[in-house]
Amino acid sequence: MSYKNKTVWITGASSGIGEALTLNLAEQGAHLIISSRRSESLEKLAERCEKAASILIVPLDLEDEQSVQNAADEVLEKIKELHYVFHNGGISQRSLTHETSLDIDHKLMQVNYFGAISLTKRILPVFLNQGFGHFVVTSTISGVFGFPLRSAYSASKHALHGYFDSLRAEHVKNNIDVTIVCPGRIKTNISLNAIGADGKATGVMDDAQNNGMSADLCAKKMLKAVEKKKKEIYIGGKEILMVYFKRFIPSLYYKLAATVKPD
């Protein structure tokens, strides 16, 4: 029960992995701050968190930096200390590189990268001042290798690795921890909400997603890894092998990435 009475802020809490993290942390008696755009979904989720020590609903839009700053103002005014921030909110992509407009590249970077960075810039001074804090970053295995139909998504998640590896190196001496989580295929709405070349959600549940690990199991594995202060972890099924192919047998990765069914 190491999360009991700890204060945890989770973005992307309204659905999928974030929802499962929220429910698991509530079960352990954490103080929760839950954020995403859809406040009604957050309110419904809060009703299911009876065992949470407390729960604060703070809607925000990661694409809108002012909204992130307003959310941080509200949270920092209401809490005394903050132990964890789970940068989990995000959107994926299903479009070929040459069909994807620069606007879509910007949108994915804005939500997945700048949204998290903008929040981090407000929270890091708080962590430094209190002398502890832990950032948990939901990346993806496509954050460590490129994959078809996900050029901007993959780039936005690679950027998170560069940023948070640097932050960790600077601040480990200040008792600031960073865990980067790279899920493979987890059964959530991620592919339904992924944006296509037209800039709209595809509305399609990928076979791979549908057959993926449950969000609950993914959340449980994440929480264990965070407890152990792991620096980077991979969660999923056999798709995780691609991480090791890229690292140890790159020729196999190059071949598979170009031939494997990407959805």
CA distances from 153 to 135, 180, 243 (A): 20, 16, 17
Residue of 153, 234, 253, 254 marked active site: 153
What is the smallest separation between the CB atom of 78 and ligand NAP, expressed in angstroms? 19
Q: Which of residues 25-84 bind ligand NAP (CB under 6 A)?
A: 36-38, 41, 60-63
Residue 111 as a binder of ligand NAP (CB under 6 A): the answer is yes
Residue 100 as a binder of ligand NAP (CB under 6 A): the answer is no
The total of other beta-carbon atoms located within 10 Å of residue 204's CB is 13
Return the ∠ at Cα 201 (arms to 197 and 203), rounded to 5°: 115
The per-residue DSSP string of 12-77 comes to STTSHHHHHHHHHHHHTT-EEEEE-S-HHHHHHHHHT-TTSSEEEE----TT-HHHHHHHHHHHHH
Residue 185 as a binder of ligand NAP (CB under 6 A): the answer is yes
Choice from 7, 14, 100, 120 touching ligand NAP (CB under 6 A) = 14
Residue 15 as a binder of ligand NAP (CB under 6 A): the answer is yes
Q: Which is nearer to ligand NAP, 124 or 218 (CB)?
A: 218
Residue 85 as a binder of ligand NAP (CB under 6 A): the answer is no
Choice from 10, 100, 212, 253 touching ligand NAP (CB under 6 A) = 212
| Contact code string over 144-183 relative to ligand NAP, x by CB under 6 A | ---------------------------------------x
What is the smallest separation between the CB atom of 174 and ligand NAP, expressed in angstroms? 26
Q: Is 211 exposed, middle or buried (0-12, 13-18, 19+ CB in 10 A)?
A: exposed
Assess contact for 49 and 122: CB atoms under 8 A: no
3-class DSSP assignment, residue 191: helix
Give me the residues paired with residue 86 across strands.
10, 136
State the Cα–Cα distance between residues 152 and 177, nearest whole angstrom: 27
The reply to whether 113 belongs to the active site is no
Name the region of 203 (left: φ>0; alpha: ψ -120 to 50; beta: rest): left
Residue 188 as a binder of ligand NAP (CB under 6 A): the answer is yes
Q: Which is nearer to ligand NAP, 81 or 122 (CB)?
A: 122
Q: Which of residues 113-142 bind ligand NAP (CB under 6 A)?
A: 138, 140
Catalytic machinery residues: 153
Interface residues with ligand NAP (CB under 6 A) are: 11-18, 36-38, 41, 60-63, 88-92, 111, 138, 140, 183, 185-186, 188-190, 193, 209, 212
